[in-house]
């Protein structure tokens, strides 16, 4: 019997509830507070936490109704234990703990980053392990080697400063095109030329490839774009957006394919909110096909933070016989990706 798992995700500004049976997605409800943060140009942790409190119960009720089940049918509850905003995480962990205890069901405290990779298992039945995973979002840019999604993840590299999604948000704010920045820049870029402006590619010199081959840095790129905008009052927004986006995407794929080559792993999963970027998806398909790498990217709706990915990882943990967490545990805002689930 395939496990029926309810997943709760509250690491940032989405209150997300997912329900899966085995690898079948039954419900994926998301209540976002992004509009409340837009006037600040970024996520305000206190606002996010309060929004989670208000949205939690209605979101669970909608998910259960959509899935056509009763809460008593749930076999296990999974919740994001970290990394993320601590106040937001605590709302999810407290809600999941109360639900699990009330139902008498096991509780799994799972890793947000591993959950993003796990969403691939909802759309593909064939195993993809080992694989290289490129995780790119507003808070994280990481290269991972996934040998076993329920038990063995190795961090190959990560961002040294701004994450890719964070860079998109900051440049969008400077250009005055709205928040979140990713979709706004992506849309603008369609009217521009990718080679109009030669923006820098961070950590791609010969010395960088020797010392930090799989790490990322986007702060220099952000500064270069900001200086260009200051010195070019009549700049073309489309060209800036396209050239900036190309620089980010180019570095992400250079590093990811280099990781595949060095490890000898011929598959790549790209996940996280930035994986919804149209240019990243387009260029990834071209370069992976040329390199003979099997590529998997979730549907755009499953790239951003969602409950389905948490429920998916919870289901995989149950099926693998992994031990659940203790009855009560603390959220961890800096939970390392090597800790896939709390025990």
In a domain, 341, yes or no: no
The backbone torsions φ and ψ at residue 212, rounded to the nearest 5 degrees and listed phi first, read -140, 65
Looking at residue 38, its pLDDT comes to: 72
**Residues 3-52: tens digit of each pLDDT:** 999 999 999 989 999 999 999 999 999 998 877 877 777 788 888 899 99
What integer pLDDT is reported at residue 276 of this predicted model?
96
Backbone angles phi, psi at 110, to 5 degrees: -110, 165
* CA–CA dist 107, 314 (Å, integer): 9
pLDDT of residue 43: 81
Domain ranges, residue 10: 4-119+303-319
Res 193: pLDDT: 98
Whether residue 281 sits in one domain with residue 163: yes
For residues 140 and 271, membership in a common domain is answered with yes
Q: Based on the fold, state whether residues 115 and 150 are members of the same structural domain.
A: no
CATH number (domain holding residue 61): 3.30.420.40
* 277 falls within a domain: yes
Query: Which residues touch 65 (CB under 8 Å, ≥6 apart)?
Result: none
Q: Alpha helix locations (H) across 68-176? A: 86-103, 112-118, 164-175
Within 193-277, residue ranges assigned H as helices are: 206-211, 219-231, 237-263
Token digits of residue 38: 């837009």
Same-domain check for residues 176 and 279: yes
On whether residue 80 sits in a domain, the answer given is yes
327 in a domain, yes or no?
no
Same domain, 113 and 135: no
Is residue 31 included in any domain, yes or no? yes
Does residue 194 contact residue 243 with C-beta atoms inside 8 Å?
Answer: yes
Residues 308 and 313: their CA atoms lie apart, in Å, by 9
Work out the angle between the directed axes of helices 181-189 and 237-263 (0-180°, nearest 10): 110
SS3 213: coil
Share of the chain above pLDDT 70, in %: 100
Same domain for 146 and 177, yes or no, is yes
Residues 70, 193 within the same domain: no
Residues 30 and 179 in one domain: no
Regarding whether 22 and 162 lie in a shared domain, the answer is no
Q: What are phi and psi of 180, to 5 degrees?
A: -70, 155
Q: Is there a single domain that holds both residue 141 and residue 234?
A: yes
For 23, 59, 121, 299, 323, the CA distances from 315, given in Å and listed in that order, are: 8, 20, 10, 20, 12
For residue 328, being part of any structural domain is answered with no
Supply 325's token pair. Answer: 């967490």
Asked if 322 and 5 count as a contact pair (C-beta separation under 8 A), the reply is no
Quick check: is 326 in a domain? no
Half-sphere exposure of residue 286: CA atoms within 13 angstroms, side-chain side: 10
* Residue 290 within a domain: yes
What value does the mean pLDDT take over residues 168-184?
Answer: 94
User: Are 56 and 138 in the same domain?
Assistant: no
Instruction: Please give the tally of structural domains in the chain.
Output: 2
Tell whether 107 and 9 lie within a shared domain. Answer: yes
Is there a contact between 221 and 250 (Cβ–Cβ < 8 Å)? no
CA 209 to chain CA centroid, nearest Å? 25
- Distance, in Å, from the CA atom of 279 to the CA atom of 12, rounded to the nearest integer, reads 25
* pLDDT tens digits for range 99-142: 999 999 999 999 999 999 999 999 887 877 899 999 998 888 99
């Amino acid at each position: 019997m395939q496990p029926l798992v309810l997943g709760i995700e509250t690491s940032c500004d989405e209150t997300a509830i997912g329900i899966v049976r085995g690898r079948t997605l039954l419900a994926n409800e998301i209540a976002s507070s992004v509009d409340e943060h837009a006037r600040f140009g970024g996520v305000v942790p206190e606002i996010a936490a309060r929004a989670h409190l208000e949205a939690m119960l209605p979101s669970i009720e909608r998910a259960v109704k959509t899935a056509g089940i009763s809460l008593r049918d749930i076999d296990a509850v999974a919740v994001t234990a970290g990394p993320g905003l601590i106040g937001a995480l605590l709302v999810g962990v407290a809600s999941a703990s109360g639900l699990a205890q009330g139902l008498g069901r096991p509780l799994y405290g799972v890793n947000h980053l591993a959950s993003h990779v796990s969403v691939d298992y909802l759309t593909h039945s064939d195993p993809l392990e080992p694989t290289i995973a490129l995780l790119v979002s507003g808070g994280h840019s990481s290269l991972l080697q996934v040998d076993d999604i329920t038990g063995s993840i190795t961090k190959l590299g990560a961002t040294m400063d701004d994450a890719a999604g964070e860079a998109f948000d900051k440049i969008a704010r400077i250009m005055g095109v709205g928040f979140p920045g990713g979709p706004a820049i992506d849309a603008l870029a369609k009217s521009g030329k990718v080679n109009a402006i030669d923006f820098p590619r961070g950590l791609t010199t010969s010395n960088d490839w020797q010392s930090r081959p799989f790490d990322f840095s986007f702060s220099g790129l952000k500064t270069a774009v900001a200086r260009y905008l200051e010195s070019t009052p009549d700049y073309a927004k489309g060209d800036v957006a396209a050239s900036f986006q190309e620089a980010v995407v180019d570095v992400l794929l250079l590093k990811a394919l280099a990781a595949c080559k060095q490890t000898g792993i011929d598959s790549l999963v790209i996940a996280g909110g930035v994986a919804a970027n149209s240019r990243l998806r387009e260029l990834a398909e071209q370069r992976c096909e040329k390199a003979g790498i099997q590529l998997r990217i979730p549907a755009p709706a499953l790239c951003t933070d969602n409950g389905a990915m948490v429920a998916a990882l919870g289901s995989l943990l149950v099926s693998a016989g992994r031990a659940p967490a203790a009855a009560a545990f603390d959220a961890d805002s800096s939970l390392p990706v090597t800790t896939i689930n709390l025990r």
